[in-house]
Amino acid sequence: MYRDFRSKFPELARAADTRHVKTWDSVEDDTAFSWFESLAGVINDQMEAERQGADLALVFSYFEEKLSESDEEVVNCIDVSFVENLFWRVKPKSAVNVWPKMPNSLQKLYLNFHGRPPIED
């Protein structure tokens, strides 16, 4: 999934690489799990700045598709590394336009971990 995502969303992948290197010093295939946390951070930064550089509905649809067709390891990566880190330190007013774009399957993962949507104070 890591390489596939990078090929489908190269601009977003480059931004995630930049963020990832600040924390982990390099981008390696064996750090793919934590790389998706960096990806969530890039999306959070875009939300907070109120500028989406990527079509988030398309990104979320990609992950929804992977959830339905992947093994437990990939599902866990999407859940723990990506979804749980989305909306971290994003103000509810900045999340309000993004939350509805998330498919129900991703929203459910988020709610199972956080207990409430990110659009509530």
For 70-83, how does the pLDDT look when each residue is reduced to its tens digit (9 = 90+)? 899 999 999 999 99
Query: Distance (Å, rounded) from C-alpha 96 to C-alpha 93?
Result: 5
pLDDT of residue 98: 92
The pTM of this model reads 0.91
- List the domain boundaries for the chain: 2-114
Query: Distance (Å, rounded) from C-alpha 100 to C-alpha 82?
Result: 17
- In 3D space, the residue among 21, 6, 15 whose CA is nearest the CA of residue 40 turns out to be 15
In Å, what is the CA distance from 35 to each residue of 11, 87, 94, 117, 121? 15, 16, 23, 24, 28
